[in-house]
């Protein structure tokens, strides 16, 4: 993780939150991913693009990812979701403006709508990962939304990790935006999560209980010599190795920027609530990791169209009931940060108009063209957002 600012300056009030969005670089003429990260980064550094997107320089920056067909947009940390919105919007605009200089676009799709080979980013680390993991790395082209929330220290961070576990499937369900794989509908709302779960350390984790136990678990994994480095600790949520943050990694990159910002708000509220529970002496939910793994699978399979594990009841619920339980759980934290309306509007939009997965499917089923699907995804990626916008209209198809 490479957020270019310090999360450690926690105020007594709001925690900092920053995001990484992974976007696809696509050729709008074909809908196919384009291996052009080096050219896009060079264009982004040019004076022409800097003039077109001047606000991006102070709120976001761009990085390489594992494949040349994707780009990572990293926000600086903020305490205000309105400011985070500016970063997310500027970052998407910067990536897309740079891509347009070479005839490409940047699209917030968590998997590609088309099939075909991909190209590894030129890096000794990525080359080592490919040499070790072979086809798994060659087939890997997925885009996630990673949210970093500031914590005081490792003790608070591990306490948070232990207490947010049961709620993470609901975050995945709300963000689901990857129905396509290998040029056809996968049948999953988040095929990205299925593909990502093949990595040896990816997915749900046990409760740790203390920083010593967390770091011991990481050391034991690294001692197996299976992983290239500690950057491959791919838990659904983890401590950052460079900054005092908890990093939650379950979400698909969201089709609309408004949804990414609201997901970040949900995750910050989960972290705040968990920290308060820890300080109040409440023990974490002892949900067994195998059960949690199945809950994550169900969220990946259905998004919000099928049953989801309700952490309050400890059993599957209708999606509306489970998401209502999530909202009730974090409502005090959302109210304190002024984010309750924003998050409530996003949830209402998702249930009224569908997740990104459902919107992609509608486009594909109506227009029968991967290229048309990508065109609409590009439009939604760069749709303007506002903190007090009403429930959004359905995706035009």
CATH number at residue 368: 3.30.590.20
Strand partners, 146: 20
Tell me the mean pLDDT in the region 179-207.
96
Tokens 């109210």: give the residue. Answer: 335
Which domain covers residue 278, as residue numbers? 17-381
For the chain, what is the domain count? Answer: 1
Residue 316 CA to residue 137 CA, distance in Å, equals 34
81 vs 60, more confident? 81
The answer to whether residue 209 is domain-embedded is: yes
pLDDT for the residue numbered 384: 65
Per-position b or e across 217-249, b if 16+ CB within 10 A of its CB: bbeebbeeeebeeeebbbbbbbbbeebbbbbbb
Q: Shortest CA distance to 203 belongs to which of 315, 295, 317? A: 295
pLDDT for the residue numbered 74: 95
pLDDT for the residue numbered 3: 36
Q: What pLDDT, in 10s, does the model give residues 300-337?
A: 999 999 999 999 998 999 999 999 999 999 999 999 99
**Average pLDDT over all residues of the chain:** 91
Which of 5-19, 21-35, 376-390 is most confident? 21-35
Q: Which three-class secondary structure state does DSSP give residue 74?
A: strand
The answer to whether residue 9 is domain-embedded is: no
The answer to whether residue 387 is domain-embedded is: no
The answer to whether residue 1 is domain-embedded is: no
The answer to whether residue 334 is domain-embedded is: yes
The answer to whether residue 220 is domain-embedded is: yes
Residue 38 has pLDDT above 70, yes or no: yes
CB neighbourhood size of 174 (10 A): 28
Residue 397 has pLDDT above 70, yes or no: no
- Measured CA to CA in angstroms, residue 128 lies from 123, 198, 275 at distances of 9, 17, 38
Residue 393 has pLDDT above 90, yes or no: no
Tokens of 95: 């990536």
Q: Sorting pLDDT into bands at 50, 70 and 90, what band is 7?
A: very low
Tokens 């303007």: give the residue. Answer: 384
Torsional sign, CA 136, 70, 128, 214: negative
pLDDT for the residue numbered 180: 96
Q: Shortest CA distance to 108 belongs to which of 391, 396, 282, 359? A: 359
Residue 385 has pLDDT above 60, yes or no: no
pLDDT for the residue numbered 253: 98
- Measured CA to CA in angstroms, residue 36 lies from 32, 63, 129 at distances of 12, 13, 21
pLDDT for the residue numbered 9: 37
Q: What pLDDT, in 10s, does the model give residues 117-149?
A: 999 999 999 999 999 999 999 999 999 999 999
CB neighbourhood size of 182 (10 A): 12
The answer to whether residue 77 is domain-embedded is: yes
Q: What percent of the chain has pLDDT over 70?
A: 93
pLDDT for the residue numbered 389: 32
5 vs 345, more confident? 345
Tell me the mean pLDDT in the region 376-382.
94
Tell me which of 159-173, 333-347, 371-385 is least confident: 371-385
Tokens of 261: 């910002």
Q: What pLDDT, in 10s, does the model give residues 200-244?
A: 999 999 999 999 999 999 999 999 999 999 999 999 999 998 889
Q: What percent of the chain has pLDDT over 90?
A: 85
Residue 92 has pLDDT above 70, yes or no: yes
Residue 391 has pLDDT above 80, yes or no: no
pLDDT for the residue numbered 142: 97
Q: Sorting pLDDT into bands at 50, 70 and 90, what band is 390?
A: very low
Torsional sign, CA 144, 153, 242, 257: positive
State the first-to-last Cα distance of the chain, in angstroms, to the nearest integer.
Answer: 37
Residue 8 has pLDDT above 80, yes or no: no
Tokens of 303: 């998004």
Tell me the mean pLDDT in the region 255-270.
97
Q: Are 108 and 253 in contact (CB under 8 A)?
A: yes
The answer to whether residue 390 is domain-embedded is: no
Residue 1 has pLDDT above 60, yes or no: no
Instruction: Give me the DSSP letters along 245-300.
Output: EEEEEEEEPPSSHHHHHHHHHHHHHHHHHHHHHHHTTPPPP---HHHHHHHHHHHH
Residue 99 CA to residue 112 CA, distance in Å, equals 17
């Amino acid at each position: 993780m490479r957020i270019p600012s310090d999360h450690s300056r926690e105020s007594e009030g709001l925690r900092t939150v920053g995001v990484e969005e992974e976007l696809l670089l696509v050729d709008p003429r074909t809908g196919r991913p384009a291996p052009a990260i080096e050219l896009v980064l060079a264009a982004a550094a040019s004076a022409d693009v800097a003039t077109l997107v001047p606000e991006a320089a102070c709120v976001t920056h761009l990085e390489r990812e594992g494949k040349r067909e994707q780009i990572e947009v990293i926000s600086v940390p903020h305490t205000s979701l309105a400011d985070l919105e500016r970063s997310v919007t500027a970052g998407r605009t910067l990536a897309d403006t740079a891509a347009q200089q070479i005839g490409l676009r940047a699209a917030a799709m968590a998997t590609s709508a088309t099939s075909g080979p991909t190209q590894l980013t030129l890096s000794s680390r990525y080359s080592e990962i490919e040499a070790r993991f072979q086809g798994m790395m060659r087939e890997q082209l997925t885009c996630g939304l990673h949210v970093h929330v500031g914590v005081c220290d490792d003790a608070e961070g591990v306490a948070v990790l232990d207490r947010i576990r049961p709620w993470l499937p609901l975050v995945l369900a709300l963000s689901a935006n990857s129905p396509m794989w290998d040029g056809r509908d996968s049948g999953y709302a988040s095929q990205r999560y299925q593909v990502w779960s093949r990595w040896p350390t990816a997915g749900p984790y046990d409760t740790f209980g203390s920083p010593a136990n967390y770091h011991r678990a990481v050391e034991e994994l690294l001692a197996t010599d299976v992983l290239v480095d500690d950057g491959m600790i791919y838990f659904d949520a983890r401590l950052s190795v460079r900054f005092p943050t908890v990093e939650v990694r379950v979400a698909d990159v969201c089709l609309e920027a408004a949804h990414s910002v609201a997901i970040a708000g949900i995750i910050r509220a989960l972290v705040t609530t968990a920290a308060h529970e820890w300080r109040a002496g409440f023990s974490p939910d002892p949900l067994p990791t195998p059960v949690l793994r199945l809950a994550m699978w169900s969220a990946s399979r259905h998004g919000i169209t099928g049953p989801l594990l309700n952490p309050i009841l400890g059993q599957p619920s209708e999606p509306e009931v489970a998401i209502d339980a999530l909202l009730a759980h974090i409502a005090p934290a959302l109210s304190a940060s002024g984010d309750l309306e924003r998050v409530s509007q996003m949830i209402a939009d998702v249930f009224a108009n569908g997740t990104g997965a459902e919107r992609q499917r509608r486009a594909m089923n109506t227009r029968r063209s991967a290229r048309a699907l990508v065109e609409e995804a590009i439009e939604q990626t760069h749709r303007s957002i506002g903190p007090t916008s009403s429930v959004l209209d359905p995706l035009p198809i």
